[in-house]
Structure 1
Amino acid sequence: MCAYECVAVGTGLKCLGNSELSPDGDVLFDSHAEVVCRRHFLTYLYNEMNLCLDSSSSVLRQSTPGRFKLAPGVEFHLYVSQAPCGDASMTCLDRSQSDDTRKANEEKKRRFISRRDEEISDESPANKRPKTEMHGADDSVSLAGPPTQSPSAPATQSMDQSDSVADVSPECAEPLVVSSANMVASGVLRGRDSYNLLGVLRTKPGRIDADSTNSLSCSDKIAKWMVVGLGGALVASLMDPIYLSTITIGAFYNHADAYRAFIDRLEGIVDLPPLYRVQVPEIFHSKVPFPFSRVAVTKNENTRPISADASIGWSSPSDDSEVTVCGRKQGFSAKKAKNNERARPSISKLSLFKLHQEVLSRVNPSAASSTSSQTYRQAKQANSEYQLAKSRLYVGRFAGWLICDPMYEAFKVEGSANTE
């Protein structure tokens, strides 16, 4: 008999703009639900590694001394309350908009482009922004145990659908299709721009008038996990890759879109290193309404939903959830959070780096001593097989993957940024 256990939950729909980022690893750049939940899942894995070393984990086993793998029969499943931002939701978002909403969005776009062009014309050549570097990314899910037909898993609330108020799944049976000649093969589109271009990389946020970011959409990040696994470079240095067995989507579901976003786009990826593969998850549609979705809330005529600034996350076995606002623990402004450990989210890059170092010090003290002098980026780059798997992914439709600027990964495990 299959048994399910909720191990991580995330909510959220905000993403820090490029002007708000921190070089110290203490702030969440991307607080969309799927990303928050996946990062809490990493804290769950580190806890299970410690339990395994104490011979008390039912989830992990040691494949070799100091290296972990999943116990037989253990699988993980993702539930998202509505289609992830990016490629998996383009068709339904397009068709869900009323004519008035579409006109309002076009006006927003026109004003933003006009204002941006005026700012650019005022810049001297020396002050113009550099082009974004390509090929690379930051490590960017509700999860449960083995499924039968319909996986049961806890809820994540995905992306800002502030311009849409209807669950349009039934109307999305036939997606818009464009020829490969019209695709942006090696580039990246911003947010919801050019709905008719499918299968392409997109950045957050969806709104054209919001501060730009280099964070790829949740659709793109989930697709990445289908190749390199859920763990990221640091976790992958300690255990075999972990893949999602199923993905279940609530509102704004279209099977063709989901299949293209998470499976079809990965065709042709070959020559992966040992243990890595192109995972093909089963994809399901849940028709059970998520009670806190915009669709459900707007059914009450006296309720006007407002996009929340806060993000909430949790992982097993903690008794407490964690609330973050603008990438920091709730209650701390950017000024108060500076060099304040209490303001640092448990799922920030620095916090996860510390968890990795703690496990590594138990399984390989000499390696832990070496890592303590490395920057976060150097520690990730040291996992050569993971980096090779990423390089195999960043071809074809993923060739334009955006790199996280090295300055934001130059901090060390004790928290100091390397300015050399």
Structure 2
Amino acid sequence: MFTGRGSRGISYSKVLMKNGPLTAELTETFKPPAALNSPFKHGIKEKPALKPGAPVKSGVPPQTLIKRYRNGETNPVSLIHQLAQIYEFHLEMKETVATDVPPLLPVEEKPSVNDTHPSPAIYERKNPVNLQILQAVSNQLTKLTSNHLKFSSCTSTTAAFIIQTSSQCEVVALGTGDFNAKECLSENGRIVNDSHAVVTARRSLMRYLYRHLLLFYSKNASLKEKSVFQHSSSSSNLLSLKSGVALHLYVNQLPKGAAQIPSKTRLNPKSISAWQVRNEISLHQAVEGKVFSVLLSGLHHSACNMVSMSTTDKITQWQVLGYQGALLSHFIEPIYVQSILVGDSHCSDISRMKMSVSQRVDGITPELPMFYCMIRPHISLVPSAVTCSSGSSQLTFGFNWSEGDCSVEVVDGLEGKTTEDSPFKSGPALASRLCKAAMLHRFKLAAKEAERQDLRTTRSYREAKMVAKPYQEAKNVLRDHLCKKGYGSWLKKVSVSENFSM
């Protein structure tokens, strides 16, 4: 298990693991630390008209930049970008394929003839950090449901985000649920469209991040110290997670979509069934709790049905764009999860999830804007941390919570609103604290505290998202990449659903 640091829940030094040596022209000018272990290789090509080792004018000498890196004040990617600008080198970032990724096309799996060695799944069940995470999730669920036993049956599908530091693992956001709304999109942003557990947990994580943004911008020094954010050491004005902070995701079921497709085949160059695997790990859409491949030509939905991308596809997207979303990207660098723990007692194979989350976006990093990259999370099978009650009559219900909340909020996934008997209700309209209107309110408050007048004047939720230019560029690159690779087209949102304002 890695110990992440930096702005993304996993540090750039981890991103650059297995990194090859820099070119001779650059290493003659400065001597970076020993080669880092990364899925990336940086090819740095010298411009023909430039004399090797001839620096251009800069306010900061290269030796100072390197010293900052060695002191942990900046990350490797920022260092390389800064040095490339000083020495006028052309910089390219290329991914290499990890050794544990299966080959390219599918063939029949052959059973192992040697069962004397423990499997990776058994080993990862005994991983001490994984055990800490499982215990933290179990304890938090018990704490949340002990006072509201009637909602304990809502935990059949659960997801949680865990912050790991040098001293502890702490659950900071949690969500349960298995449905998306049955009605059309809301024009005022007060309907939760997708209430699947991972989506709910991620929106709860965003609430946690907003809360810590406000702590950071507080005039009270002791409150600011409690924030998980710090000024980024890069040349940007964005914040980053404090050094030594890592983010993990726990799910008690394989996410809906391509990750749940039974894995009887694996990728191999000699197979003739590539089209079958491409269809199986294609993008999927969710409709009232059921999922369908976007490649199915006969797929039609009623105009009244709410359709969203599958949870697996959203995780794939977040591992490229970050889990913070467009609005928070105005303030912070992309945040990624370092590992995904699958606590599904009925699951014995997570290879399709690995393929869906990582392999579909292999090679995308060179196309992305700065600070964005494809993070390959460590996906492992672990024991379940959730004890589910049987005989529930609340099949469409789910609840959400984030660190700092006094109680859970229960939402009817099909209605997209808070239930009448929810322990927490924001008002008589029963709009959830996870709805888009609530997120826009938090965004405006953060913009005020950060003294970002440019953001405070945005007129609508959609405008606030669209002016996040690097995030929107990265999103377009991702969707073009998936389409060109043959996995299908991403569902386009109806713009009227985001044109509301405060």
Give TM class, smaller chain: 0.5 to 0.7
Match of 2:465 in 1: 380
What are the residue-to-residue correspondences of 1:30-45 with 2, within 5 Å? 30-45=194-209
How far has the Cα of 1:317 moved from its partner?
Answer: 1.2
Match of 1:202 in 2: 284
Match of 2:406 in 1: 319
Structure 1: which 5+ residue stretches go unaligned? 92-171, 185-196, 298-302, 415-420
Question: Which secondary structure does the structure 2 equivalent of 1:380 belong to?
Answer: helix
How far has the Cα of 1:67 moved from its partner?
Answer: 3.4
How far has the Cα of 1:279 moved from its partner?
Answer: 0.4
Q: Choose which of 39, 46, 49 in structure 1 pairs with 2:213.
A: 49
Find the aligned partners of 1:386 and 1:215 in 2 and give their Cα distance. 20
Find the aligned partners of 1:352 and 1:40 in 2 and give their Cα distance. 10
CA deviation vs aligned residue, 1:269-305 (integer Å, no higher than 9, x gap):
132111111001111111246311xxxx5xxxxx545
1:213 aligns with 2:378: no
What are the residue-to-residue correspondences of 1:225-244 with 2, within 5 Å? 225-244=318-337
The alpha-carbon distance between structure 1 residues 24 and 341, as it changes in their structure 2 partners (threshold 3 A), is: farther
Question: Which secondary structure does the structure 2 equivalent of 1:323 belong to?
Answer: strand
The alpha-carbon distance between structure 1 residues 402 and 263, as it changes in their structure 2 partners (threshold 3 A), is: same
Find the aligned partners of 2:277 and 2:307 in 1 and give their Cα distance. 20
How far has the Cα of 1:307 moved from its partner?
Answer: 6.0
Q: Choose which of 220, 228, 231 in structure 2 pairs with 1:59.
A: 228
How far has the Cα of 1:324 moved from its partner?
Answer: 1.0
Question: Which secondary structure does the structure 1 equivalent of 2:307 belong to?
Answer: coil
Contact map agreement 1:10 1:313 (CA 8 A) in 2: yes
Q: Choose which of 296, 317, 334 in structure 2 pairs with 1:224.
A: 317
Query: Scaled by the length of structure 2, what TM-score is found?
Result: 0.56
Find the aligned partners of 2:455 and 2:256 in 1 and give their Cα distance. 37
1:181 aligns with 2:266: no
Contact map agreement 1:361 1:367 (CA 8 A) in 2: no
How far has the Cα of 1:368 moved from its partner?
Answer: 3.8
Contact map agreement 2:249 2:337 (CA 8 A) in 1: yes
How far has the Cα of 1:75 moved from its partner?
Answer: 1.0
How far has the Cα of 1:378 moved from its partner?
Answer: 1.2
Match of 1:331 in 2: 420
Match of 1:3 in 2: 168
How far has the Cα of 1:200 moved from its partner?
Answer: 0.3
1:283 aligns with 2:379: yes
The alpha-carbon distance between structure 1 residues 179 and 317, as it changes in their structure 2 partners (threshold 3 A), is: same
Find the aligned partners of 2:403 and 2:217 in 1 and give their Cα distance. 18
Q: Choose which of 404, 410, 414 in structure 1 pairs with 2:499.
A: 410
How far has the Cα of 1:32 moved from its partner?
Answer: 0.3
AA aligned to 2:209 is L
Find the aligned partners of 2:465 and 2:301 in 1 and give their Cα distance. 31
Two-structure CA RMSD over aligned residues (Å): 2.7
Match of 1:268 in 2: 363
What are the residue-to-residue correspondences of 1:97-112 with 2, within 5 Å? none
How far has the Cα of 1:28 moved from its partner?
Answer: 0.2
How far has the Cα of 1:364 moved from its partner?
Answer: 2.4
Answer 1 or 2: higher relative contact order, Cα 8 Å, separation at least 6.
1
Match of 2:350 in 1: 255
Q: Which moved more, 1:399-408 or 1:50-59?
A: 50-59
Question: Which secondary structure does the structure 2 equivalent of 1:258 belong to?
Answer: helix
Contact map agreement 1:15 1:30 (CA 8 A) in 2: yes
Contact map agreement 2:455 2:464 (CA 8 A) in 1: no
What are the residue-to-residue correspondences of 1:39-188 with 2, within 5 Å? 39-54=203-218, 55-63=224-232, 67-91=238-262, 174-175=264-265, 179-182=273-276
Q: Percent identity?
A: 26
Contact map agreement 1:375 1:410 (CA 8 A) in 2: yes
The alpha-carbon distance between structure 1 residues 239 and 389, as it changes in their structure 2 partners (threshold 3 A), is: same
CA deviation vs aligned residue, 1:210-250 (integer Å, no higher than 9, x gap):
97432000000000001000011100111100001000112
Contact map agreement 1:222 1:262 (CA 8 A) in 2: yes
AA aligned to 2:290 is G
The alpha-carbon distance between structure 1 residues 352 and 341, as it changes in their structure 2 partners (threshold 3 A), is: farther
Structure 2: which 5+ residue stretches go unaligned? 1-165, 219-223, 293-299
Find the aligned partners of 1:207 and 1:388 in 2 and give their Cα distance. 28
AA aligned to 1:206 is K
Contact map agreement 1:11 1:34 (CA 8 A) in 2: yes
The alpha-carbon distance between structure 1 residues 257 and 2, as it changes in their structure 2 partners (threshold 3 A), is: farther
The alpha-carbon distance between structure 1 residues 387 and 210, as it changes in their structure 2 partners (threshold 3 A), is: closer
Match of 1:351 in 2: 438
How far has the Cα of 1:405 moved from its partner?
Answer: 0.4
- Larger Cα-atom Rg: 2
How far has the Cα of 1:84 moved from its partner?
Answer: 0.3
AA aligned to 1:250 is G
Query: Scaled by the length of structure 1, what TM-score is found?
Result: 0.67
AA aligned to 2:254 is A
CA deviation vs aligned residue, 1:345-379 (integer Å, no higher than 9, x gap):
111001001101101011124224412xx211111
Question: Which secondary structure does the structure 2 equivalent of 1:320 belong to?
Answer: coil
Find the aligned partners of 1:402 and 1:207 in 2 and give their Cα distance. 13
Contact map agreement 1:69 1:240 (CA 8 A) in 2: yes
How far has the Cα of 1:396 moved from its partner?
Answer: 3.9
Find the aligned partners of 1:74 and 1:370 in 2 and give their Cα distance. 33
Find the aligned partners of 1:198 and 1:328 in 2 and give their Cα distance. 33
Find the aligned partners of 1:288 and 1:181 in 2 and give their Cα distance. 34
How far has the Cα of 1:58 moved from its partner?
Answer: 4.1
The alpha-carbon distance between structure 1 residues 288 and 14, as it changes in their structure 2 partners (threshold 3 A), is: closer
CA deviation vs aligned residue, 1:185-219 (integer Å, no higher than 9, x gap):
xxxxxxxxxxxx32101111326899743200000
The alpha-carbon distance between structure 1 residues 353 and 289, as it changes in their structure 2 partners (threshold 3 A), is: closer
Contact map agreement 2:174 2:401 (CA 8 A) in 1: yes
Find the aligned partners of 2:456 and 2:383 in 1 and give their Cα distance. 51
Question: Which secondary structure does the structure 1 equivalent of 2:280 belong to?
Answer: coil
CA deviation vs aligned residue, 1:313-365 (integer Å, no higher than 9, x gap):
00011121111112111119xxxx9x966511111001001101101011124
How far has the Cα of 1:2 moved from its partner?
Answer: 4.3
Match of 1:120 in 2: none
